Amino acid sequence: DAKTTQPPSMDCAEGRAANLPCNHSTISGNEYVYWYRQIHSQGPQYIIHGLKNNETNEMASLIITEDRKSSTLILPHATLRDTAVYYCIVRVNTGFQKLVFGTGTRLLVSP
Amino acid sequence: DTGVSQDPRHKITKRGQNVTFRCDPISEHNRLYWYRQTLGQGPEFLTYFQNEAQLEKSRLLSDRFSAERPKGSFSTLEIQRTEQGDSAMYLCASSLVVWGSFNEQFFGPGTRLTVL
C-alpha cells in the first residue's frame, strides 16, 4: 500500500469548514483514497472514499487532485463532536482489505 | 445496538498472566479483523478471518498470541505470558465482503489492556 503524509494537528472553529490535507504522491492507478476518523476512546469510523472523482456524503466531501497525488477531506460545518484523529489511507479495493493506518491528523474543533 | 462489541472494555493484568478478549462482529459479517493500537499511533493490523478461516497473520502476532473464530461468528484473541509491551488497545472490526463491491470495516470500541 502507498504511504500517506498528513499534518500532525489542525485547529478549526466551530461552524467553519475543516479542510484536512493528505499527500499520497506514490499512489497507484488502482488504489483508492479512504478516510477514517477516531474519536477519543472509540474505534475508527469510516467517513468516505474515492478513486479519482470528487465524492460527497452526509459526513464529508473528498476532493482528489487531477494527478491523484493529494486529496482534501472537507467537513463543511465542523462541530465540537468532530474533534478526532483523521486518518487518510490508500489501498486497492479488491482482495484482502487490511487497513494500514499512519499517525493521522488530530483535529481540534473549538467553540 | 447492532454494532461490533468487545469484551472486556478494560483489562489489567500482571506480567506473565494469560488474557483472553472476545469480539462479537455485526451479524452476518463474514470478515473479522484484529488490530492493535498503542498510544499516539494508528491501529496496526494483527490478523483476519474469512468466516472461520484465519487467512493472514501479521509478523506482530508472536507465538504468544492466538486468535480463533470457531463458528464463523464471534472471535477470541488470547495472549499468553503477557509482557508489559503488550499494553495497548486491541480493536476488532468486521465487514461483509461481497465480490466486486466496496465494504467498509466497522470497528468495535476496543479492549484496553494494561500489563503491570
pLDDT, tens only, A18-40:
999 999 999 988 889 999 999 99
pLDDT at position A92: 78
d(CA A84, CA A40): 7
Q: Of B45, B95, B108, which has the smallest distance from its Cβ to A43's Cβ?
A: B108
- Determine, for residues B103 and A102 on separate chains, whether the beta-carbon distance falls below 8 Å: no
- Determine, for residues B93 and A43 on separate chains, whether the beta-carbon distance falls below 8 Å: yes
CA-based nearest residue in chain B for residue A94: B100
- Tell me which residues of chain A, numbers 80 to 99, contact chain B at a CB-CB cutoff of 8 Å: 85, 87, 93-94, 96-99
- Determine, for residues B104 and A104 on separate chains, whether the beta-carbon distance falls below 8 Å: no
**Residue A73, CA distances (Å) to B22, B43, B72 in order:** 34, 20, 36
- Determine, for residues A104 and B103 on separate chains, whether the beta-carbon distance falls below 8 Å: no
Q: Which residues pair with A42 in a beta bridge?
A: none
Taking chain B (116 residues) in runs of 10, the rounded mean pLDDT of each run is: 89 98 94 94 94 90 94 94 97 86 87 97
Return the CA Rg of chain B: 14
Residues of B with Cβ-Cβ distance to A86 under 8 angstroms: none
pLDDT at position B100: 65
The dihedral built from the CA positions of residue B56, B59, B63 and B64, taken in this order, carries a sign that is: negative
Per-residue cell: A41: 476512546
d(CA B89, CA B102): 27
Q: Judge contact between A109 and A15, C-beta under 8 A.
A: no
- Determine, for residues B91 and A43 on separate chains, whether the beta-carbon distance falls below 8 Å: yes
List the helix and strand counts (H, then E) for chain A.
0, 9
Average confidence score pLDDT of chain A: 92
Task: Identify residue B49 by its one-letter amino acid code.
Answer: F
pLDDT at position B7: 97
pLDDT at position B99: 73
CA-based nearest residue in chain B for residue A50: B102
d(CA A33, CA A71): 8
